[in-house]
Structure 1
């Protein structure tokens, strides 16, 4: 160990510990990387980075780009020429205080492999002087770029910007940098979705459409072959939807639809191969194990469903999740059972990829044109934003000099060892592009669809129509949505596919049907949907319920008849029940009464789910006036919107897998000392609100404190607490800045979060709260 440390020091003297330069790549990783020194984290030259990794046996990893070609990459996408477009976020957290993070240092750069050796060697800056850019998406002759709080479309010519259009001035409506929308993922249905966002986008001619979407995740978003979407939050391995993202969006009064944002993989265990003391709450019991390694996810991000077709059948329907705080990438194995998609981690006590280099920060993962898995390594010391950075972590950063450098970054690709990688060429011939819609590589299918939809060559239409008749589920799926993107999909084609014996094909036909049903053809869909109900297919039933919403404005009587048929057949099925409720916005109470005539048992799922929405509507009528709260507590409203809303919900009713309700919370309405203590020093573990015990995985299990955050004054914290204590249906007493200041002083020496049991002890029901 001493010898290794001496070699590192000697190497540091030669290259400079804080200077990053370009180095030649290595093609494979060792099975037994050297041990990490928990007291030292020098910059590892790019040429040696792979030697610090342990990779799944049988796999190879290749460095394809590194500094100075790229710097602090966070997101990327390929174009049809296999060039890589990269977002660089060099302005993120220059030090532990975040000083200078609003400097316009962000860029969109284009990487090319000029000599075709598989390593990118050319860099072109396309857009510069951006502040904290976070996502990009190619579309038509330009690129969407998210630069909070705005979303812009840059029209390009010869890779140069010729025009900039504001698409959405409120792409990020509140939220700090860790909780702002990102992703810009162009999905199977031709809409662009985001993690951490209730919106989706689509370009229609010169107009941009912005519609509601199911909100999910924190950083990164992905889809499977059926177009179902997956995401996660920092403490959750993987969450996903059982249904495509365009369904279930027709009743704004409905919250938490069954089948959306479900826990796909329950196990959050991680297995780093180095001590990971540099995590935000490494001082807390249970965060690190006896060997000082991260126990559970704390920075899960960048999930990806592998669809490359190169890894073999064992990797079909696998998910990969990045964990930059643990310097690793996890593999999960997913399986379908009816509508449900559930999974498990692939290995016990090890990971698909892990590194002993603390600066290895995988943040985003991608399928590539050659079937490989692509990894973005932000390669830096600081990844925790200042909003939540604890003094403990600041100390760890200082101890190992992790602040500098700020200009590193690496891209890798992973593939089966010994396999020849071949990039698919996307031809100009539209008919040949149509043939690629059935390719084994999901990225290739997606890209061929994107090119066809963006260019709309009319010569492709006959081939697309023939593809619908092929019987190949993958080819049919993409041909179907490509025709939808052209605006050329016909009712006859969808109705024919609804008769298919293949469920995957019927699934896509049902999903696209709401886009096709109109006043001229709805009567043709009504009997077909009724026939599908009669088929007694439990998997199909929720889809029928969702699609029936499209019939309602043309023939409510016929639509309701289908809904009542579904309810009688599946009264205990939550997925069917919520699909039914998605039909009845604005008439929930009246529909509830009609449903009780059909299904009288109030204990059944269908009546419970309708009743829940009716009760929520009535409950919301008692809420306080938000405009009045904004007038009294403007700073509190602003802080809630940037820090609290993402986890606790805009309506204060909590967000599944993140945080419990604030509305009608005993803590919010109770002793102000308890609430101040939580806001200053944080809360961990289960918490009981309104008779319900919230604990992981229903919530993340931890709320950070803000005592050490210099951005928030005593008055700021008082304002946000007063806003919460008087909003919705809360009636808590007023808190003054002096109250916060006094308790801050009493708790100054306290390091750990509170537990609710500790706060509710008689000795702590006053300002003399224990400080140990």
Structure 2
């Protein structure tokens, strides 16, 4: 379908005339540098309605950091409900349209196959997209794509598909993973499909990674990370978050350290890059799911902390200037804003802080502005996908309070909108870099100042099997004038299966940490029966030379030596344990190698490390205790047969935060296994599952609170159609699972509590529950 911009303008004005009942005078398009704090934070009353605003007017509702401007580059009907996208070599946007998401407050018709993958193109090269081509339609809630080789990966729950393309026409369709989104609901299912520096494809809300080798797809287990969206920095470190956390990420290579199922957390992964979760909306934001709760909104009814943090991006473009290098941006759609964080690294440690106090990089007074995903672009700009709709909370967790807010301000309709913007410095001449097919030009682009260009050039060289570039790539990894060129050339060689052991070893000897770090990251991919001895020798030399920065990397990489030489691998681990008994990154990396061997290793090092207060001993004992306790876990298959509805509810709602093992997930939720809240008073447990739990909670003597876990567990009792029998089965299932052995919860007990709590809207606090 092809639409001119004149038709778009006509239709959007028509939509506005139909839906807009009132409108206020728009605020300034730009942030004025002299604007006072008083002007942006003064208490105001909540507006009664949030009118639909035309695409041309919506930017007038935004304030952006001084010196920048926001440009609208696509809008309905050219695009609808965009949630994810990728640029191709021609700077066209392949966009995922999740059209079916929450048509109303009860999700009517959410399973209708009306989602699309569309290509948007700027035909006349004026910076505004004017052509729409639907390439895949009839999808149910599609959520992610990844361009690779001659096609694209498409995530459509529960499947991950690979579609081959020729001249923008779909060819063969291959099922890559039938369980890509196994479990969870639309808010808590894998997404992202991010193709990282190491040539693997990673996901948020997932512990899987994917790679295409020849005609086969490899699927590997990795760390569970994130909720919606995923990004990387110039050195391949992954960044993500969850709905209440600003920014989280990995210090170490994403594919390592996840091999010990007995180990709950590994230091250096899921680390909080930025601990400050405050947000500063421009206007009252009562339309958030827990807006009635204390401290969720301030006195002016504005959100105080992240509650729906979405897909972040580490800015890697070449337009914003040096002060924006190594900055991470995070959208908060429930508060209609985008946050800027400034990051800094010290060795392998990365930490950051918010760029401003009491303001944001970009914020809008339009409540329908819903930035859900951010991207770097081929022109160096930062791109924003805006679902532009009123409802962004899934029905599973939608509170009566928010339903009321949606109704008061008429937020349900329309559903056909969607906008894409880009942020650029004022007067910038942003022109997209087209990715050529010429081999020599592609190698040169590996050193381009724009990270998107470097990534795409690397991917094209690998996808196109440009083996003729190997000599040029070998030369590139030996030069030091452009470190980013060298790094991308290194990983391109790895992707072409042409990186030599001696080349990686040479990088291990570099004095510059940025090179040494990449050598450590790439060496596990080169571990073979013929190469491992060289790596073992160099690793030992590095440990003996007190290379503290390299130590956790070497401990993590020792796992890849095990298949070839268990003695050499164990010797390295022992040496590292004795040298760094109190380094949490090294100790956790060591333990990641030791699944079901933890007790033996503890005995082996006891002579040298007899002090029980050494961190290595404490961490080993913690895992050993977990293993011993797990031996008493109940048979999950038997429980599934006894409580089929309960098991299904647990998988779709609870497991994504509390874990399949009931042990809780870092940054999300505390354990259910052997929790007194689960096995104790039934009325308390029923009350929690019906209306949720907020604030700190003590479980087995330990207090769990933000930021260690999310500060808010949503309830499911707000859904009046949720059968009490199903809730009873869910509670019976968790009261009998793992090492829990409490009696069942009956349907009658659930009904009784529901009736007693009729009219309640608030989540419970621990103090309230203790009064039951």
TM range (shorter): over 0.9
Structure 2 residue 632 is the aligned partner of structure 1 residue 632: no
Structure 2 residue 182 is the aligned partner of structure 1 residue 181: no
Equivalent runs, 1:9-408 vs 2, <5 Å:
15-18=16-19, 29=30, 31=32, 38-408=47-417
* Alpha-carbon distance in 1 for matches of 2:201, 2:566: 31
**2:703 aligned to 693, 716, 721, which one?**
693
1:404-424 deviations in Å (ceiling 9; x for gaps)? 100101111111112211221
Structure 2 residue 664 is the aligned partner of structure 1 residue 654: yes
1:594-613 deviations in Å (ceiling 9; x for gaps)? 02122111211111222222
Equivalent runs, 1:709-720 vs 2, <5 Å:
709-720=719-730
Structure 2 residue 554 is the aligned partner of structure 1 residue 544: yes
* Alpha-carbon distance in 2 for matches of 1:395, 1:521: 64
Q: Report the secondary structure of 1:165's partner residue.
A: strand
Q: Do 1:264 and 1:341's aligned partners in 2 also have CA atoms closer than 8 Å?
A: yes
1:720-766 deviations in Å (ceiling 9; x for gaps)? 000000000111121100001011011002221111122112xx2xx
* Alpha-carbon distance in 2 for matches of 1:249, 1:435: 35
Structure 2 residue 448 is the aligned partner of structure 1 residue 439: yes
Q: Does the C-alpha gap of structure 1 residues 17 and 52 become closer, same or farther in structure 2, counting only changes over 3 Å? A: farther
TM-score for both structures, normalised by structure 2: 0.95
Q: Do 1:27 and 1:63's aligned partners in 2 also have CA atoms closer than 8 Å?
A: no
Structure 2 residue 462 is the aligned partner of structure 1 residue 461: no
* Alpha-carbon distance in 2 for matches of 1:12, 1:157: 37
**2:519 aligned to 492, 497, 509, which one?**
509
Equivalent runs, 1:517-536 vs 2, <5 Å:
517-536=527-546
Structure 2 residue 704 is the aligned partner of structure 1 residue 704: no
**2:689 aligned to 653, 663, 679, which one?**
679
1:634-657 deviations in Å (ceiling 9; x for gaps)? 000000000000111110000111
1:531-559 deviations in Å (ceiling 9; x for gaps)? 11122122211011112222222222222
1:662-718 deviations in Å (ceiling 9; x for gaps)? 000011111111101111121111111111111111111111122221342100100
| Structure 1 position 568, deviation (Å) | 1.9
| Structure 1 position 230, deviation (Å) | 1.1
* Alpha-carbon distance in 2 for matches of 1:711, 1:516: 55
Q: Do 1:266 and 1:344's aligned partners in 2 also have CA atoms closer than 8 Å?
A: yes
* Alpha-carbon distance in 2 for matches of 1:421, 1:14: 31
Q: Does the C-alpha gap of structure 1 residues 13 and 338 become closer, same or farther in structure 2, counting only changes over 3 Å? A: closer
* Alpha-carbon distance in 1 for matches of 2:304, 2:46: 19
* Alpha-carbon distance in 2 for matches of 1:636, 1:19: 44
1:92-142 deviations in Å (ceiling 9; x for gaps)? 100001000111110000000000000000000000000000000000000
Q: Do 2:143 and 2:155's aligned partners in 1 also have CA atoms closer than 8 Å?
A: yes
Of 586-595 and 167-176, more deviation after overlay is shown by 586-595
Q: Do 2:150 and 2:166's aligned partners in 1 also have CA atoms closer than 8 Å?
A: yes
TM-score for both structures, normalised by structure 1: 0.95
Structure 2 residue 756 is the aligned partner of structure 1 residue 746: yes
Q: Do 1:17 and 1:42's aligned partners in 2 also have CA atoms closer than 8 Å?
A: no
Q: Do 1:19 and 1:405's aligned partners in 2 also have CA atoms closer than 8 Å?
A: no
Corresponding residue for 1:770?
none
Q: Report the secondary structure of 1:387's partner residue.
A: helix
**1:573 aligned to 570, 580, 583, which one?**
583
Q: Do 1:595 and 1:607's aligned partners in 2 also have CA atoms closer than 8 Å?
A: no
Structure 2 residue 677 is the aligned partner of structure 1 residue 667: yes
* Alpha-carbon distance in 2 for matches of 1:155, 1:184: 17
Q: Do 1:365 and 1:376's aligned partners in 2 also have CA atoms closer than 8 Å?
A: yes
Q: Report the secondary structure of 1:301's partner residue.
A: coil
| Structure 1 position 515, deviation (Å) | 1.0
1:305-344 deviations in Å (ceiling 9; x for gaps)? 1111321111111110000000000001111122211111
* Alpha-carbon distance in 1 for matches of 2:211, 2:19: 43
**1:562 aligned to 572, 579, 596, which one?**
572
Of 152-161 and 581-590, more deviation after overlay is shown by 581-590
Q: Report the secondary structure of 2:225's partner residue.
A: coil
Corresponding residue for 2:769?
759
Of 560-569 and 140-149, more deviation after overlay is shown by 560-569
Q: Report the secondary structure of 1:270's partner residue.
A: coil
Q: RMSD of aligned C-alpha atoms?
A: 1.8
| Structure 1 position 19, deviation (Å) | 8.5
Structure 1, unpaired ranges of 5+:
1-10, 21-25, 765-772
* Alpha-carbon distance in 1 for matches of 2:275, 2:260: 29
Corresponding residue for 2:9?
none
| Structure 1 position 251, deviation (Å) | 2.5
| Structure 1 position 16, deviation (Å) | 2.0
Corresponding residue for 2:484?
474
Q: Do 1:36 and 1:356's aligned partners in 2 also have CA atoms closer than 8 Å?
A: no
**2:629 aligned to 619, 624, 633, which one?**
619
| Structure 1 position 12, deviation (Å) | 8.9
| Structure 1 position 281, deviation (Å) | 1.2
1:441-471 deviations in Å (ceiling 9; x for gaps)? 1111100011011011122111111111112
| Structure 1 position 228, deviation (Å) | 0.9
* Alpha-carbon distance in 2 for matches of 1:173, 1:98: 20
1:142-163 deviations in Å (ceiling 9; x for gaps)? 0000000000000001001011
Of 539-548 and 637-646, more deviation after overlay is shown by 539-548
* Alpha-carbon distance in 1 for matches of 2:420, 2:214: 35
Q: Do 1:637 and 1:720's aligned partners in 2 also have CA atoms closer than 8 Å?
A: yes
Q: Do 1:36 and 1:357's aligned partners in 2 also have CA atoms closer than 8 Å?
A: no
Structure 2, unpaired ranges of 5+:
1-11, 22-26
* Alpha-carbon distance in 2 for matches of 1:293, 1:134: 29
* Alpha-carbon distance in 1 for matches of 2:628, 2:444: 53
Corresponding residue for 2:439?
430
* Alpha-carbon distance in 2 for matches of 1:674, 1:15: 48
